């Protein structure tokens, strides 16, 4: 009982002393320990039980996180006892600590800051970017000191010497600044792209994506001093003779207005816009020249001059629906965005282009112009933001467009006035009924016919199925668009130009009773404009 009364009396005396001489709350432990809100307690008994807990400090300075009390006690006990056993009056201790002479087991520490050389900054850090010198990162010694009371209890108190406290805070500031610099190292910097692929255990896949990423640039555009847009760019060709590269991107990079309905020819483009390439070495190049852009297919080709050799992406014309792929893009700071996705068997909405294919998952808007790549280092498409979905233009169409431009410096296609859907994308029950009743498993469904178009006048109706084009069986819209582009190439080779008429032969299965197949030839114009649709 007497001992308990003495303890209570001792705590009251200490509490009174703290009220007369308040001490600052200071962090005392490295950040790698599990933390909880700091407590302001100046006496920590070795016999503390679960009911004898320190009270929460209410001062405004208590915003630093501290470790649990048990860990604090364990570490400070070990440090203080070690220092007491080895210390002698005036003897220098590790980390610049010196001890005062004392008859009891109290270790009252005074911090002796290291000398600052002329080559260091005021915070004690080397003013150099060289990796030749790097002093170890040391957290300042705690202000807690161990003391033994007259009745044999070991208690811990904060050092109340204002000079020691000031020195501690000064050294803590140096520590925090150096820690912040250290955390900016490439190996320690925190990644801000939380939605990138996690738990990625296949290292071969990682290396494949890294190889493709070497061909992905960041592009930005402006006109009359005003920013227009920013997209990604893909290196698809390198010319060693003049050190130039061909960059593929979306035509949105030079678009000041984009219609919500792709079938309305309301987009506004600025071909003379200034386009800037943000290269992977951190440099910026304005040496980009617009070679060509297609309004209908939304692709643009630029020539980049004066750069070092750039990695060329490999475009793959074949793709597999349902397969896994990755969307790659670059942030403004060139940080790589890598999102895993799946190629969907999904048809476009009524306001979207026929040639769009779609991907699933959470894709950032900044991915426009970036590559959709498989895990075999092949680019299977270019991503475009096509609300409400994220679409991509398949590489088969991109390759054909690029070859057309290389050969004829223009890209055109026949305008048919048809919105199409894919038979194989239907629900399995619906598809099985078509197979059972009409022996149909593939082809293209006519979703809508443009009003007063040649197709409408030739009997095309919603619900008909196109099973061939120019005598070739068509399974997907991408194959159909490829045939239309091949028709254009043949006409150019024969000397025909834009706005000339070409014959397109279509095999049509009309399901209205009586169901029948027939061949229809449409004589339509070649055009390099966006195909508009009349409702």
DSSP for 226-241, written as a single string: EEEEEEEEEEEEEETT
The pLDDT of residue 534 is 81
Distance CA(37)–CA(24), nearest Å, equals 15
The 10s digit of each residue's pLDDT in 284-300 is 999 899 999 999 999 99
Return all residues near 377 (Cβ < 8 A) that are at least 6 apart: 208, 211, 212, 314
Q: Which two tokens stand for residue 523?
A: 């004589």
Instruction: Pick the range with the lowest mean pLDDT from 112-126, 177-191, 435-449, 513-527.
Output: 112-126
Closest residue by Cα to residue 36 from 61, 70, 77: 70
Residue 466 has pLDDT above 90, yes or no: yes
Identify the CA nearest to 83 among candidates 137, 40, 142, 169.
Answer: 142
Question: Is residue 101 very low, low, confident or very high in pLDDT (cuts 50, 70, 90)?
Answer: very low
pLDDT value at residue 186: 74
- Is pLDDT above 70 for 106? no
What DSSP designation does 297 have? Answer: T
Residue 438 has pLDDT above 60, yes or no: yes
3-state secondary structure 247-292: EEEEHHHHEEECCCCCCCCCCEECCCCEEEEECCCCCEECCEEEEE
Which class does domain 413-527 fall in?
Answer: mainly beta
Q: Which pLDDT score is estimated for 197?
A: 66
**Residues in Cβ contact with 314 at an 8 Å cutoff, skipping those fewer than 6 apart:** 377, 378, 379
For residue 401, how many C-alpha atoms fall within 13 Å in the half-sphere facing its CB?
A: 29
Nearest residue to 472 via CA among 482, 460, 458 = 482
Q: Residue 160's closest CA among 277, 43, 289?
A: 43
Q: How far apart are CA 223 and CA 336, in angstroms?
A: 27
Per-residue model confidence (pLDDT) at position 66:
40
The answer to whether residue 123 scores a pLDDT higher than 50 is no
- The mean predicted confidence, pLDDT, of the chain is 79
Q: Quick one: pLDDT at residue 193?
A: 56
**184, pLDDT greater than 50:** yes
Please state whether beta strands 154-158 and 109-111 pair in parallel, antiparallel, or not at all (unpaired): unpaired
* φ, ψ dihedrals at 291, nearest 5°: -90, -45
Higher-confidence position of 399 and 97: 399
8 Å CB contact between 109 and 91: no
Local structure of 440: helix, strand or coil: coil
pLDDT tens readout for residues 148-164: 888 888 888 888 888 88
- Phi first, then psi, for residue 57 (nearest 5°) are -75, 140
Q: What's the fold here for domain 190-404?
A: Thrombin, subunit H (2.40.10)
Is residue 95 classed as helix, strand or coil in its secondary structure?
A: helix
Question: What pLDDT shows up at residue 191?
Answer: 62
Whether the predicted pLDDT of 491 surpasses 70: yes
34 or 520: which leads in pLDDT = 520
- Whether the predicted pLDDT of 72 surpasses 80: no
Question: Pick from 375, 479, 378, 365: which is nearest to 422 by CA?
Answer: 479
pLDDT beyond 50 at 422:
yes
Residue 513 has pLDDT above 60, yes or no: yes
**What pLDDT score was predicted for residue 11?**
53
Whether 332 shows a pLDDT value over 70: the answer reads yes
Can you give the pLDDT at residue 276?
95
Q: What is the pLDDT of residue 139?
A: 86
Give me the pLDDT at residue 462, please: 94
Rounded to the nearest 5°, which phi and psi values hold at 453? -80, 165
Q: Using H for helix, E for strand and C for coil, what is the string for 200-224?
A: CCCHHHHHHHHHHHCCEEEEEEEEC
- Angle CA 397–402–403, to nearest 5: 100
* Whether the Cβ atoms of residue 340 and residue 328 lie closer than 8 Å to each other: no
pLDDT of residue 118: 39
How many helices and strands, by DSSP H and E, does the chain display? Answer: 8, 29
Taking residues 446-462, report their average pLDDT.
Answer: 93
Q: Residues with Cβ < 8 Å from 460, sequence gap 6 or more?
A: 418, 446, 449, 508, 520
**Is the pLDDT at 190 greater than 60, yes or no?**
yes
Residue 444: what pLDDT? 97
**Bond into 514 cis (ω within 30):** yes
Tell me which residue of 371, 318, 322 sits closest to 345, measured CA to CA: 322
Over residues 34-45, the mean pLDDT reads: 39
The share of the chain scoring above pLDDT 70, in percent, equals 73
Is residue 275 over pLDDT 90? yes
Looking at residue 355, what is its pLDDT? 94
Which of these, 80, 119, 384, lies nearest to 249 by C-alpha position? 384
Cα separation, 230 vs 271, in Å, equals 15
Percent above pLDDT 90 for the chain: 48
pLDDT on residue 198: 65
Q: Report residue 426's pLDDT band, with 50, 70 and 90 as the boundaries.
A: very high
3-state secondary structure 170-211: HHHHHHHHHHHHHCCCCCCCCCCCCCCCCCCCCHHHHHHHHH
pLDDT at res. 158 = 81
pTM over 0.85, yes/no: no
Residue 296 DSSP one-character state:
T
Residue scoring higher pLDDT (11 or 26): 11
**Residue-wise pLDDT tens digits, 217-260:** 999 999 998 999 999 999 999 998 888 999 999 999 999 998 88
Residue whose structure tokens are 């999904």: 346
């Amino acid at each position: 009982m007497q001992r308990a009364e003495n303890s209570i009396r001792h705590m009251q005396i200490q509490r009174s002393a703290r009220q007369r001489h308040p001490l600052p709350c200071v962090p005392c432990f490295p950040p790698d320990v599990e933390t909880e809100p700091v407590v302001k307690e100046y006496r920590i008994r070795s016999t503390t039980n679960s009911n004898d807990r320190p009270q929460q400090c209410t001062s405004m300075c208590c915003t630093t996180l501290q470790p649990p009390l048990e860990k604090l006690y364990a570490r400070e006990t070990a440090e203080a006892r070690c220092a007491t056993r080895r210390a002698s009056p005036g003897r220098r201790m590790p980390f610049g600590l010196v001890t005062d002479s004392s008859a009891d087991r109290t270790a009252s520490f005074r911090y002796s800051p290291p000398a600052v050389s002329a080559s260091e900054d005021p915070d004690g850090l080397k003013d150099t970017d060289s990796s030749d010198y790097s002093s170890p990162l040391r957290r300042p010694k705690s202000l807690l000191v161990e003391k033994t009371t007259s009745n044999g209890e070991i208690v811990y108190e904060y050092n109340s010497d204002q000079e020691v406290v000031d020195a501690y805070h000064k050294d803590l500031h140096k520590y925090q600044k150096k820690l912040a610099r250290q955390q900016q190292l490439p190996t320690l910097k925190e990644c801000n792209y939380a939605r990138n692929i996690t738990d990625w255990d296949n290292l071969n896949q990682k290396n494949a994506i890294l190889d493709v990423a070497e061909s992905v640039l960041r592009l930005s555009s402006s006109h009359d001093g005003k920013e227009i847009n920013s997209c990604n760019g893909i290196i698809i060709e390198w010319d060693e003779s003049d050190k130039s590269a061909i960059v593929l991107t979306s035509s949105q990079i030079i678009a000041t207005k984009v219609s919500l309905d792709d079938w309305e020819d309301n987009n506004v483009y600025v071909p003379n816009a200034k386009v800037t390439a943000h290269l992977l070495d951190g440099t910026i190049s304005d040496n980009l020249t617009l070679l060509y852009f297609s309004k209908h297919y939304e692709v643009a080709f630029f020539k980049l001059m004066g750069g070092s050799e750039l990695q060329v992406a490999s475009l793959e014309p074949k793709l597999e629906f349902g397969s896994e792929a990755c969307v790659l893009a670059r942030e403004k700071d060139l940080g790589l965005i890598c999102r895993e996705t799946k190629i969907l068997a999904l048809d476009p909405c009524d306001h979207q282009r026929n040639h769009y294919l779609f991907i699933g998952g959470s894709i950032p808007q900044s991915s426009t112009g970036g590559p959709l790549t498989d895990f075999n280092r092949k680019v299977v498409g270019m991503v475009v933001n096509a609300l409400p979905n994220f679409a991509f233009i398949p590489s088969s169409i991109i390759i054909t467009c690029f070859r057309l431009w290389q050969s004829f410096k223009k890209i055109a296609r026949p305008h048919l006035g048809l919105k199409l859907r894919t038979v194989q994308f239907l629900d399995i029950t619906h598809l099985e009924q078509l197979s059972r009743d009409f022996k149909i498993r593939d082809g293209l469904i006519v979703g809508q016919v443009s009003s007063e178009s040649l197709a409408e006048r030739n009997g095309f109706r919603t619900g008909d199925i196109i099973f061939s084009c120019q005598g070739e069986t068509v399974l997907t819209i991408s194959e159909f668009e490829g045939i239309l582009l091949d028709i254009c190439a043949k006409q150019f080779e024969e000397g025909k130009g834009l706005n000339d008429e070409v014959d397109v032969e279509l095999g049509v299965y009309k399901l209205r009773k009586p169901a029948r197949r027939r061949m229809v030839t449409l004589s339509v114009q070649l055009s390099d404009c966006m195909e508009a649709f009349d409702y």
